[in-house]
Amino acid sequence: MLKWPYPKEIKSLRGFLGLTGYYRKFVKNYSKIAWPLTQLLKKDSFQWNAEAQQAFELLKQAMTTLPVLIMPDFNKDFVVETDASGKGIGAVLMQEGRPVAYMSQTLSERAQNKSVYERELMAIVIAVQKWRPYLLGKHFQVHTDQKSLKFLTEQKVLGGDQQKWLAKLMGYDFEVKYKPGKENSVADALSRQMQYQAVTMIQCEAWEGLESEIQDDDKLKKVVQDLIGEPLSHQGYQLKGGRLYHEGRIVIPKNSPRIAWLLHEFHDTSAGGHSGYLRTYKKISGVVYWEGMRKCIKEYVEACEVCQRNKYQTLSPGGLLQPLPIPTQVWTDISMDFIGGLPKAQGVDTIMVVVDRLTKYAHFLPICHPYTAKEVANVFIKEIVKLHGFPNSIVSDRDRVFLSSFWTEVFKQAGTKLKFSSAYHPQSDGQTEVVNRCLETYLRCLTGRQPKQWPRWLSWAEYWYNTNYHASLKTTPFEALYGRTPPVLVKGNESLSAIEEVNRLTAERNVVLEELKDQLLKAQDKMRTQANKHRREVAYEVGDMVYLKIQPYKLQKLAKRFNQKLSPRYYGPFEILQKIGAVAYKLQLPDDSRVHPVFHVSLLKKALAPNIEPQPLPSCMNESWQLEPEPEETLDTRRNDTGEMEVLVKWKGLPAFENSWELVDKLRKEYPRFLLEDKENFEGRGIDSFGRVYKRRGNKRNVGEYYVV
C-alpha cells in the first residue's frame, strides 16, 4: 500500500478511492482527508497538485496504521476476497470486515492469456497458499466475483489446469461464495493497480549521459533547479536519485538523439510490431516523456515506409461516384463482359454478356474458352450487329480480347468508341457486373444438381432477365425496348385484336423512352447519393508521389498458390503524370511494366515520407493483373511420398521465397520450352534420367526381382 503509485488519470483515482472508501468507517475523518481527491473526480477538474498529493499520502498512511489493519484473532473466522484482472491478481484477508493483510501480484504473459475462470481460480489458490499459516486447519470463506467458482468442489468433469490448481487446495476447509465485482472493490482495486498495466523494460545503458543532456536544455535545467529548492514547484515533475521524472516517467529533452532510438525500438522492431500511432504512443508514454511527444510519434508512424506499403486504409474509399452519361437512343451505347469458369457442355464453357445501357436489355451468348478477338468479333457481328447495328460506344473491362489490336481496329472502322475501365477497377462497368451476378444466380437455381445442363437454360435466362421489372427503369427492359408489355407465355381465353394502331404505338414508344431517361437520371442521382455516403472526395496534384494498391496477386502454380496473405498491399511510390477525368490518374510506372497506367483514385494512397526507394511491380504481371511467371532454373531435386520426381523451381521475376517444388512431368507439360534436360543436377545427373524408378518386389517367390515404376 505504501508503494502505491499516485493516480495519473481519473480511472486510477476512482480505483484508489474505491479501495480506501471500503474501510472509511475505520479511518478517522476519512471524508476530510479524501476531499481534495474527490474534487478531482469532477468534470475537467483532474489537475494533480500539492494538496492532492498530500491527501493521497495521508490516505496511504491511514490504510496501513491502526485501527485499520488489525491483528488476526484465531478464534474468529477468516474471509479471503480475491479478484483477477487482465494483468494481475489481488486479494485481502479479513476478519469481521476489517483487513488483516493485502496481497497483489502481476501475472506472467502466459497467465494473462488464460480464461477469466482460470485467472480467478489462480487468484484463489495463490492467496490461500500465501496466507497458509492463518487458514490451514480452520474453516474460512472465499469471496469471488466469478459465479461459476461456487461449484468448484462439486464439478465432476475438470480440465487439466483445473485439476492442478484444485489439488493445491486440498487439505483446506473452505467454501466459495459469489460476490459481485462492484461489491468486491478491495481485491478488484488491488488487481488493477496502474503499475501492472504496462511492463516495459529498457536497458540501463540507454540512460547513460541523460543528466548532461538535461543540463544542455535550458527549460529542463530550470525545472531541475526549481525542484531542488521546492519539490512541488512544477506540477507532475519529480527528482528521484538525481534523475528528472514527469508523472513517474523519465524525462528526456525534445531534441535528444535517444528519441530516434526509442521510436525504432517501440515501433519498428518485432516487439513494436509496426503498431499504429495510439498503441505506439501508449507504449512509449508509459516509460518516457518529452515535450511534443504525441506529434513526434504520430509523424514517425505515419511516415513509416513499411506501414504505408503493407497496412489497410481504414478510411472510406476515395473518389466520389461518377455515373456514365445516359444514352439518347436504344442500343447506341452498350457494355460487355464474360462469365467464365462454367462446366464445359455442348462445346461451350463461357457466356458473353452484352447489355444495352439505356433499356438494360441483354443478350447472353455461349462461346468456348480459349477464344480469340476474331472469334468474339464474329459472334458479336452475327448475334448483336444483325439485330441492333454497330453501337456508338462499348464499355468493358480490360480483358485481353478487348485490348487486342484486332478488336480495336474492327470497331475503329465501324466508328465505335471503346471505353475501358481503369486498371484493376471493374466497378466502372458496374451494370454488366450486376447482370452477371443475376445470370449466375438464375443458372445456379435452375441447373441444381446438373450443372452441365446450363446451356439448355440460357435462352430462358435471357427471356427471364429481359421481362423482369427493374427498379431503376420502373419497367421491364423488354417494354423499354419495344414499347409494349412482354408477351404472356400462358395466355387466357380472351381474344386479342388483330389491328394495331401504328401511329399511337409509335407516339407511346417515344413517351416511354423519355420517361425511361427521366427514371434513369433519378436512379443515378439516388445511387450517387447513397454511394457517396460511404466515400470521400480525394484529389492529388500532378507530381505527387502515391502508393498503388494491389490485392495479393492471384495465380495457381502447378503445386500451390503464391503467398497471398503476406504479399505487400501497396507498391511504389509512383509519380502522378496526369489527371484523367474526375476520379482517375495516370502514373509513371516502370518502363518494363505491362499494366495500364491509369488507376481509380480509390487504389491510390499518398506517400508521406520523402525519398523512398520505389518498390517495382512484379515484372511477370500482365495487363489483367495476373502473374505469368516462367521457370528460370532448377535448384534441387527430390522424390515425394509417392515416388514421383520433383524439382525446386526458381521463377523468373519473383523473389526467392516464391521458389516451389513442382512435379517434373507437369512442369514439362506446362512449359515445354523449358529444357529440364539442360539443367545440371546437384548429384551430377541430368534431370532427363528421372523417367524410371526401380523398386524391389516384396513377394516371397521372386525375392530378387525388380520392376519399373
- CATH number at 658 reads 2.40.50.40
For the cut 60, the answer to whether the pLDDT of residue 175 exceeds it is yes
The SS3 of residue 59 is helix
The answer on 359 and 242 residing in a single domain is no
CATH of the domain at 282: 1.10.340
pLDDT at residue 400, as a whole number: 82
Q: Is residue 599 part of a domain?
A: yes
The answer on 214 and 177 residing in a single domain is no
Among 487, 502, 522, residue at a domain's last position: 487
CATH of the domain at 467: 3.30.420.10
- Per cent of the chain over pLDDT 90 is 8
pLDDT, average across residues 378-396 = 91
Q: Is residue 503 part of a domain?
A: no
The answer on 640 and 566 residing in a single domain is no
Task: Give the tens place of pLDDT for each residue, 101-129.
Answer: 777 677 777 888 888 888 888 889 999 99
User: Nearest 5 degrees, angle CA 387-CA 388-CA 392?
Assistant: 155
The rounded distance, in Å, linking the Cα atoms of 80 and 596 is 72
pLDDT, average across residues 536-558 = 66
The answer on 353 and 263 residing in a single domain is no
The answer on 397 and 283 residing in a single domain is no
pLDDT at residue 378, as a whole number: 92
pLDDT, average across residues 680-685 = 43
Q: Is residue 507 part of a domain?
A: no
Q: Is residue 191 part of a domain?
A: yes
What's the domain range around 679? 631-695
Q: Categorize the per-residue pLDDT at 33 as very low, low, confident or very high, splitting at 50, 70 and 90.
A: confident
Report which of residues 154 and 51 the model is more confident about.
51
pLDDT at residue 621, as a whole number: 60
pLDDT at residue 294, as a whole number: 92
The answer on 134 and 37 residing in a single domain is yes
The answer on 676 and 644 residing in a single domain is yes
Q: Is residue 316 part of a domain?
A: no
Contacts of 466 by beta carbon, 8 Å cutoff, 6+ apart: 361, 362, 476, 477, 478, 481, 486
Among the residue ranges 222-231, 414-423, 427-436, the one predicted with the least confidence is 427-436
Task: Give the tens place of pLDDT for each residue, 553-587.
Answer: 443 444 344 445 445 667 778 888 888 766 678 88
The answer on 171 and 59 residing in a single domain is yes
Mean pLDDT of the chain: 75
Q: Is residue 140 part of a domain?
A: yes
pLDDT at residue 457, as a whole number: 82
**What length is written for the chain?**
709
pLDDT, average across residues 167-185 = 78
pLDDT at residue 616, as a whole number: 60
- Per cent of the chain over pLDDT 70 is 70
Q: Categorize the per-residue pLDDT at 352 as very low, low, confident or very high, splitting at 50, 70 and 90.
A: very high
Among 467, 487, 507, residue at a domain's last position: 487
Q: Categorize the per-residue pLDDT at 354 as very low, low, confident or very high, splitting at 50, 70 and 90.
A: very high
pLDDT, average across residues 34-38 = 85
Domain count, the chain: 5
- DSSP for 424-491? T-GGGGHHHHHHHHHHHHHHHHHHTT-GGGHHHHHHHHHHHHHTS-BTTTTB-HHHHHHSSPPPPSS-
Q: Where are the beta strands (DSSP E) in 173-289?
A: 173-178, 237-240, 243-246, 249-251, 288-289
The answer on 267 and 179 residing in a single domain is no
The rounded distance, in Å, linking the Cα atoms of 650 and 490 is 64
The rounded distance, in Å, linking the Cα atoms of 321 and 531 is 7
The answer on 289 and 248 residing in a single domain is yes
Among 179, 196, 213, residue at a domain's last position: 196
Task: Give the tens place of pLDDT for each residue, 601-629.
Answer: 778 888 876 555 555 666 556 555 555 67
For the cut 60, the answer to whether the pLDDT of residue 285 exceeds it is yes
Phi-psi region of 628 (alpha: psi -120 to 50; beta: other; left: phi over 0): beta
The answer on 343 and 232 residing in a single domain is no
532 and 322 Cβ atoms separated by less than 8 Å:
no
pLDDT, average across residues 64-70 = 62
Q: Is residue 684 part of a domain?
A: yes
The answer on 646 and 563 residing in a single domain is no
The rounded distance, in Å, linking the Cα atoms of 501 and 508 is 11
Q: Is residue 159 part of a domain?
A: yes
For the cut 90, the answer to whether the pLDDT of residue 79 exceeds it is yes
